[in-house]
Amino acid sequence: MAEQIADRRDIEFVLFDQLKVDELCQLEQFSDFNKKTFTMLINEARKFAVKEILPTYQEGDREGVKFENGKVIIPECYRRPFNLLREAEFTSMTEDPEYGGQGLPESIAIAAAEYLVGTNFAFATYSFLGHGTGKMIELLGTQKQKEIYLKKLYTAEWGGTMLLTEPNAGSDVGLLETTAKRNDDGTFTLTGNKIFITSGDHDLTENIIHPVLARIEGAPKGTKGVSLFIVPKYWVNEDGSMGEANDIVCTGVEEKMGIHGSATCSMALGSKGKCRGVILGQENKGMKVMFHMMNEARLGVGLQSFAHASNAYLYALNYAKQRVQGRALEDALDHSAPAVAIINHPDVRRMLLEMKSHVEGMRSFTYYTANCFDKSVTARTQEERDKNKMLSELLTPVLKTYNSQRGFDMCVKAMQVFGGAGYTKDYPVEQLTRDCKIASIYEGTDGIQAMDLLARKLGMNQGKVFLDFINEITDVVTKAKPFEQLKGIARNTEILLQRLADSAMHMGTTAMSGKFKVAFAHSVPFLEVMGDTVMAWMLLWRANIASEKLGDNPKKKEIPFLEGQIKSADFFINNITPMTLGKIDSIIASGDAAITIGNDSF
């Protein structure tokens, strides 16, 4: 059952062979760790996830969240693993031990989280959202706020949320209507309504700390007048003790397609005129603060969606090896020939390899982005720190969107391998598919991420960041060319990379012209092209390493895994990227039908 979560061998390959994360231990910040301790921690996360969290996956989905008599009732099966997870100190792996963290690199924490989050994302929402709340307070809060909130949030003694969305202000946050009125004691009284609030209310923790976006009375309209407030479920006194219940309540929970065990709440603030909060950071700078949490959340969504795909692929692979159906193709006319496992059928093999290549590429992409976060802080020179910081900012919208799209696609593909059985609740791929879909919607839809990429990220530092990205891929292509078995896919990756650069130039030029609407109509396809290019990069990089190891006479048991890396790259680059080139042709052609069609003609 454990191997239906994540491929442990592949995780180690990415961490230690591809990214060489153990080299971080040479830095003073991580000198207390070594490769062995990293491995032990991931092993413990895996064991915990398998034993405690995985059994809650289907049970929590079927029980779901209930809202009765004004109270949110979570699946009962979540209580034990939540308490044990907190005791095991898994809720804040990267933070300073002073605040209850373990001081780990992001690169190792993301690997552990693949198990802890990937086994049951609905459960994980209660466990890890407080980390984002704490991070905002750590970065921009007062010393007193840090003393009161950080350790309790990082250790999940208190929960956290993100109160951003409103009924009339979804993606356009500047339209929010929640107001904040100054009080004589320095606090604010808040009034408003928020919707789609993950873990907005529950009783797993003794308090829930809500970061709330609101507009102080008299502040400018739009996002320039938005401030961020700390609004506890129970008021927190100056000495850190809890006071009376605050006037912030859940008014209902959503019935959703998936993640049934996660409480998605509607929240009312100040219905009795007594909702108090304190400002976090500077007045009218709320969006700047919130982006810190949103970027972390988008990395988490990228992890969530590819972890669903990983689970679905491994379930499908296991099923394909066991399910006997139909004769081998070469024996199709021999009615006396025995039936074979469906993994022997060419189309099933194609689907499995498509899933395998995507999952491996997405794992490398996710871990690489986390590793950029590490290097943006730990690299030896300021130039390297800045380069990695900018690369992580460029890649975050691509990671969030691409993994969300392809993660869902791979879950659907897994269901197809199962056939009719996969469409039933007898097998977990049905739930994985439902649960994965939300990833492309929340924390900024695909369209929002693509607009961010086109409008803000491509032109960062006069285009130097995008050029650094191109150069990183070029280095991998250059290293692949000496390997005979990689020459063809290296050449194809090089062609794709040049075409990506051409399309980026075209998109930038079009966006700056009078046809900017046409450019934005093609922004999601462009992001998808960039995502496919990242996959080719990551898979070719893997194939390089595998080719080197195969040339060093590896142990016999390692050979299938290493050969599998080359086949994944071969399949993706030769079978998927030709379609990517067609998408690039479409982008450069700049068809304007979506812009010029009349509203009444839809």
Q: What is the mean pLDDT of the chain?
A: 94
531-540: string of b/e by CB count within 10 Å (b at 16+)?
Answer: bbbbbbbbbb
Q: How far apart are CA 91 and CA 42, in angstroms?
A: 14
Q: How far apart are CA 586 and CA 564, in angstroms?
A: 33
**According to the model, what pLDDT value does residue 288 have?**
79
**According to the model, what pLDDT value does residue 1 have?**
39
- pLDDT above 50 for 527: yes
191 half-sphere exposure, CB direction, 13 A CA radius: 8
**According to the model, what pLDDT value does residue 350 have?**
98
- Give the mean pLDDT of 100-127: 94
- Residues annotated as catalytic (active site), given as ranges: 443
> Domain segments of the chain: what residues?
2-154, 159-287, 290-329+337-595
Q: How far apart are CA 115 and CA 10, in angstroms?
A: 13
74 Rama sector, left if φ>0, alpha if ψ -120 to 50, beta otherwise? beta
Q: In the structure, what pLDDT confidence band is assigned to residue 172 with cuts at 50, 70 and 90? A: confident
- Bridge partner residues of 160 (DSSP): 209
- Bridge partner residues of 268 (DSSP): 193, 249
Q: Please state, for a pLDDT cut of 90, what percent of the chain lies above it.
A: 88
3-class DSSP state of 443: coil
Among the CATH numbers 1.10.10.10, 1.20.58.760, 1.20.1090.10, 1.10.540.10, which is that of 2-154? 1.10.540.10
Tokens of 239: 């000495």
- pLDDT above 80 for 298: yes
What are the helix (H) ranges across 195-285? none
Q: In the structure, what pLDDT confidence band is assigned to residue 511 with cuts at 50, 70 and 90? A: confident
Nearest CA among 460, 205, 418 for reference residue 323: 418
**According to the model, what pLDDT value does residue 21 have?**
96
Q: In the structure, what pLDDT confidence band is assigned to residue 62 with cuts at 50, 70 and 90? A: very high
- Bridge partner residues of 106 (DSSP): none
List pLDDT tens digits, range 376-431: 999 889 999 999 999 999 999 999 999 999 999 999 999 999 999 999 999 999 99
**Contact between residue 120 and residue 57 where contact means Cβ atoms under 8 Å apart:** yes
**According to the model, what pLDDT value does residue 514 have?**
85
List pLDDT tens digits, range 203-229: 999 999 999 999 999 999 988 999 999
- What Å distances lie between residue 486 and 492, 508, 544, 573, CA to CA? 10, 33, 8, 11
**According to the model, what pLDDT value does residue 295 have?**
74
**According to the model, what pLDDT value does residue 5 have?**
67
Tokens of 588: 């450069």
**Contact between residue 394 and residue 470 where contact means Cβ atoms under 8 Å apart:** no
Nearest CA among 165, 94, 104 for reference residue 131: 94
Q: In the structure, what pLDDT confidence band is assigned to residue 512 with cuts at 50, 70 and 90? A: confident
User: Which pTM does this prediction carry?
Assistant: 0.95
First to last CA, the chain: 48
Q: In the structure, what pLDDT confidence band is assigned to residue 4 with cuts at 50, 70 and 90? A: low
Q: In the structure, what pLDDT confidence band is assigned to residue 373 with cuts at 50, 70 and 90? A: very high
Q: How far apart are CA 109 and CA 3, in angstroms?
A: 19
Annotation: CATH topology of 290-329+337-595: Butyryl-CoA Dehydrogenase, subunit A; domain 3 (1.20.140)
**According to the model, what pLDDT value does residue 2 have?**
41
- Give the mean pLDDT of 506-520: 91
**According to the model, what pLDDT value does residue 444 have?**
86
Nearest CA among 250, 308, 237, 240 for reference residue 276: 237
- pLDDT above 80 for 324: yes
List pLDDT tens digits, range 490-500: 999 999 999 99
Nearest CA among 157, 106, 102 for reference residue 127: 157
Architecture of domain 159-287: Beta Barrel (2.40)
